[in-house]
Amino acid sequence: MAARPSEPTWVEVHLGVFRENLRSLRRVLHRSVQLILVVKANAYGHGVAGIARAAARAGVRWFAVAHAAEVPAVRDAAPQADILVLGPIQPAEVPWVLQYRATPVVVDLEHGRALAAEARRRRRTLSVHLKVDTGMGRLGFHWAEAAESLRALQQEPGLRWTGVCTHFARVEAGPGDPASVQYERFMGVVRAAESMYGERLMRHASSSRAMLLHPEWDLDAVRPGLAAYGYGASDPAGRVITRPILEWKSRVAQVRRVPAGQPIGYYGTYVTPAPTHVAIVATGYADGYLRALSNRGHVLINGRRCRVVGRVSMNWVAADVGPYGTVRPGDEVVLIGRQGNQEIWADELATLCRTIPYEILTCIRATIPRHYVGS
């Protein structure tokens, strides 16, 4: 049998760092506060199965996804976990979430009635969380109309209300934080809902940034996402420090010696100012290395920062590796991560692309192999 081709590009996820991130987050929470790990979008590009499995082994008992279709991968990796679906499911998906023991949110009166009817049709009761729009302007019961809608839903058998949540549109440090208005609106809905249903509901509002800046909003649970993966929590004076856990790597496919005045790549957007060597790297925008990094980004080769030159193409990136000819085909290339004493992380690439680390990480093609180091 012929040898399997080597991987042109791959991701390494460092589980030891991930576990330490989780410990850091858990350490600052009261023991009564649940940590709901957000693993939507393939665990922010880190690979949902590997991340959920590692987190469950580290003691995480709650996970959150965006869509019902994401639930099975989490359930397979964490058989005993509670799984929250943050986006509205369709009535046809009720059997799916019942089968996989997931908890969906209800986002408006019509949605609640439809889910309740489907649950009754199957002679089941569906555990749900109430999602309140307190100012995000996206999903959920409008905060000012939530109590009236809840009264109507009280008459709908088939649903069991177990939690209530919201999402902040903007969170800032200090007393003038605009999220404070959302928080007060949320707590007003919470009080009305609990009075109506006669029992305490699981309350959760804070994602990573709110958790880092407002401990007083921890409530019954927090929903860290990006902070668990190592971004947005690097301030030594902050509540928590976490470190990136993902490295993205590739290999040099060819090295060419080129003269001064040589155009590189499509439309010759870069022209070499002096004789140099150009390494062709086996990664491109089809893999998620954004085209906006053309003539802007850097990669690490042999412990050195090498500038990306020319346009990023579908499967290839060109990097100027200097005049000395020390780089060889097969050499490892770091796109995100550390090599020697040099580092490139997703937040650096995000700044260059005028975007956010979330996009950089989630754009890494899901079919690129994820290798879990330190499992």
8-state DSSP, 91: G
User: Distance between CA 321 and CA 312 in Å, rounded?
Assistant: 16
Q: Which residues contact 258 (CB under 8 A, 6 or more apart)?
A: 264, 272, 275, 276, 277, 278
* Residues noted as catalytic: 40, 266
Nearest residue to 100 via CA among 125, 116, 117, 81: 81
User: Distance between CA 336 and CA 330 in Å, rounded?
Assistant: 18
Asked if 336 contacts 346 with a C-beta cutoff of 8 angstroms, the reply is yes
User: Distance between CA 359 and CA 320 in Å, rounded?
Assistant: 26
Q: If DSSP states are collapsed to H, E and C, what string results for 26-80?
A: HHCCCCCCEEEEECHHHHHCCCHHHHHHHHHHCCCCEEEECCHHHHHHHHHHCCC
The b-or-e profile of 271-299 (16+ CB within 10 A means b, else e) is ebeeebbbbbbbbbbebbbbebbbbebbb
